[in-house]
Amino acid sequence: MSENAVETGTTRAPVFAFERGDRVLVLAHLGVAFIALLLGAAAGMLQGLQRTGYIKWPDAVGYYQLLTLHGVALALIFTTLFIIGFLLAGTAKTLGGRLHTVDRVWAWIGWIMMVVGTAMGTVSILNNSATVLYTFYAPLKASPWFYVAMALVVVGSWLGGVAIFTAYARWRRQHRGQVSPLFAYMSVATMILWIIATLGVAIEVLFQLIPMAFGWVPRVNVELSRTLFWYFGHPLVYFWLLPAYIYWYVNIPQIIKGKLFSDSLPRLTFVLFILYSIPVGFHHQFNEPGIANGWKILAAALTLTVVVPSLMTVFAMFATFEMAGRAQGATGRFAWLRKLPWKDVRFFAPFLGMVMFIPGGAGGVVNASYQLNQVIHNTLWVTGHFHMTLSSAVTLTFFGIAYWLVPALTNRKLTWRVNNLGIFQAWLWFIGMLLNAVPMHIVGLLGEPRRTAFTTYNDNPVVQPWLPYWPVMGMSGIFLFLSIMLFLGAMIYLWWFAPRLDTPAEFPIGEVKDKSHPTPMILERWPLWIALTGVLVLIVYTVPLVDMIQTPPPSSPPIRSW
Ligand code: HAS
């Protein structure tokens, strides 16, 4: 480890060189994430063009098969590998400059499991034995190896979490009574959320889907399996979001020559995410029988409380931006906006993501409102919602991270040409997502269902109002694929070809502005927050789950629909 201060072009910032062991580990995670990104993006463009009637694909490759590849590769594999790589990098940086051997061993075992799982899952999808979409709802029956593959990915990701926990626990032992570094704290919170959330899908896969797929049981309790899936499925979205928030809270202040607005607020935000994000899965099941209305209303109320930490984040971001601008001499009411580094892709790409998150988040509030959900459920509105949140806010932030993290790991320079290319690529992505997600919201309101292959419903008049939007949605796939190609081209350049640096590249970590208010140590008491989460989960899930198991709805034999 070496840590010294150099002029970065923005501010005097500590630079940092990864140890070789950490560098290889993080790059291994990012590399697999980028391969998944390529696969998922190609499948996305093809299924998008097919879904909107631009191309007719040979019958041998089905729409749902491509859609499965798109969802699994992007929503499950790209995100998980990228997130764990990013968290390991920041944990190494902020907890003493390196991971210890034991942390690395855990992370490598996890990586191997995730890679084996990814390979097995991809083969199952490509040989058309797992065309079950990324939610793999029962009673759809995939090859049992697909479920084993998903289990390997999940357990592998837990071990990545164990690596972060061991590094964090060691640091705390060595720094008794001190508040932990914010990045590491937030990484721990993210992995706690992830592990609690994935327990649901792990139970579903181990006790329902694998026995169903191997033929050990003739039937499956569909309602129970969907409930276990959505117990996991909603906090899953915060597993995607929280690393983006880490970047917004911790890294961006340094990039914009500012300071963190507060140390306690981001910690509280993450604790609130752990508490509120898990007991809300029923808001994906508002339209399902077998769950009494009272539980659904409770889930709706709790979902609206999980919006609060995001609103706190809006506040903190504006405060951080304004403080940074004013510190650089801005005086007018909005003059601070001009001081933001608009030409720096590390800031600009995530900023576009933040902008898109405003309508994306508002759409989420619509989804969460029990009555309004009746209008949009299972329509393309929902697909538009997650293209604004996951595929825009989160993905644009991941782009911004990759543009400096890869050269920081390879000890190469983020040249101004690649920086500018990154800005163009982020614009292309942003515009592509607007062309994609805005029409999806509109046709969703007009009643167009999601998860359907191309059809004109026998030219039924109900389809007419949707038609003008299809070419726009189809075209968006081309924008997005081009953007991914540029991104991956930039990554290849930064990985292998960019000029080497004599001094290590910057790893931006912001400092807190006002340290006069000590951070309450209670925020670091994980057993307390985990126990409270457990209590909330028990309150929301005990009665419905007991009901589903004791008086189960008619179960279903497994179905292969393709
Ligand atoms: Fe969602 C469905 C509710 C957030 C992802 N969501 C989905 C699905 C996905 C997904 C993938 O209640 C589909 C699952 C499937 O396949 O069926 N969602 C919400 C709510 C929020 C929310 C209340 N979702 C997300 C995020 C996702 C994501 C984040 C991915 C990362 N969602 C739902 C519901 C459903 C659902 C229902 C089920 C629908 C159904 O019927 O099936 C909230 O967390 C959103 C809060 C966010 C905000 C925005 C804050 C804005 C910020 C940016 C600030 C900007 C700045 C810069 C500072 C309130 C922080 C601006 C500067 C300028 C100068 C302009």
In a domain, 122, yes or no: yes
Model-wide pTM > 0.75: yes
| Helices of type H across 377-497 | 380-388, 395-410, 416-445, 469-492
* Structural contact between residues 183 and 93, judged by C-beta atoms closer than 8 angstroms: yes
What span, in angstroms and rounded, lies between the C-alpha atoms of 292 and 111? 41
| 4 occurs within a structural domain | no
For ligand 1, atom 49, which residue shows the shortest CA distance? 361
Task: Indicate whether 183 belongs to any domain.
Answer: yes
Q: Is residue 293 classed exposed, middle or buried when 0-12, 13-18 and 19+ CB atoms within 10 A define those classes?
A: exposed
The boundaries of the domain holding residue 169 are 21-551
Decide: 142 and 130 in contact? Cβ < 8 Å.
yes
Q: How far from 102 is each of 16, 51, 105, 164, 166, CA to CA, in Å? A: 22, 48, 5, 11, 8
Q: What is the largest CA-CA distance in the chain?
A: 71
Residue 390 inside a domain? The answer is: yes
Does residue 396 form part of some domain?
A: yes
User: Could you write out the three-class secondary structure of 428-461?
Assistant: HHHHHHHHHHHHHHHHHHCCCECCCCCCCHHHCH
Mean pLDDT of each 10-residue bin along the chain, 562 residues long: 36 67 97 98 91 77 92 98 98 94 98 98 96 96 97 98 98 95 97 97 97 96 96 96 98 95 94 94 94 94 95 95 93 92 98 98 96 96 98 98 97 96 98 98 97 91 95 94 98 97 87 81 96 96 95 92 90
Coil, helix or strand at residue 363: helix
- Say which CATH number the domain at 302 has: 1.20.210.10
Q: Which of 184, 242, 257, 507 is nearest to 398 (CA)?
A: 242
C-alpha 415 – ligand 1 centre gap (Å)? 34
3-state secondary structure labels for all residues of 168-216: HHHHHHHCCCCCCCHHHHHHHHHHHHHHHHHHHHHHHHHHHHHHHHHCC
Cα 364 to ligand 1 centroid, rounded to whole Å: 4
> Encoding tokens for residue 68?
């499965």
Q: What is the pLDDT of residue 516?
A: 64
pLDDT of the residue at 13: 47
The verdict on whether 247 is a catalytic residue reads no
Beta bridge partner(s), residue 15: 4, 506
Is 14 within a domain? no
Predicted pLDDT of residue 332: 87
Residue 304 Cα: closest atom of ligand 1: 23
Three-state secondary structure of 271-293: HHHHHHHCCCHHHHCCCCCCCCH
Cα 119 versus chain centre, distance: 21
Q: How many domains does the chain have?
A: 1
Does any domain span residue 15? no
Q: 175-179 contacts: CB < 8 A, separation 24 or more?
A: 177/521, 179/263, 179/518, 179/519, 179/521, 179/524
Single out the residue of 204, 360, 189 nearest to residue 275, CA to CA: 189
Q: Is the peptide bond between 557 and the residue preceding it cis, with omega within 30 degrees of 0? A: no
Q: For ligand 1, which residues put their CB under 6 angstroms from it?
A: 135, 237, 240-241, 283-284, 303, 306-307, 310-311, 313-314, 317-318, 354-355, 357-358, 361, 364-365, 367-368, 373, 377, 382, 385-386, 389-390, 394
Residue 59 lies in a domain: yes
CB burial of residue 417 (10 Å; 0-12, 13-18, 19+): exposed
Among 399, 427, 396, 393, smallest CA distance to 414 is for 399
CA distance 86 to 237: 17
Residue 119 CA to residue 381 CA, distance in Å, equals 32
User: How confident is the model over 480-511, as pLDDT tens digits?
Assistant: 999 999 999 999 999 999 999 988 888 999 98
Which class for 471: exposed (0-12), middle (13-18), buried (19 or more C-beta within 10 A)?
middle
β-strand partners of 3? 16
Report in angstroms the alpha-carbon separations of 275 from 87, 180, 454, 520.
21, 20, 40, 18
Rounded Cα distance, 433 and 45, in Å: 12
Any catalytic annotation for residue 517? Answer: no
The active-site residue out of 16, 78, 238, 541 is 238
Determine the distance from the C-alpha atom of residue 18 to the mean position of all C-alpha atoms in its chain, rounded to a whole number: 25
Residue type, 161: G
* 385: annotated active-site residue: yes
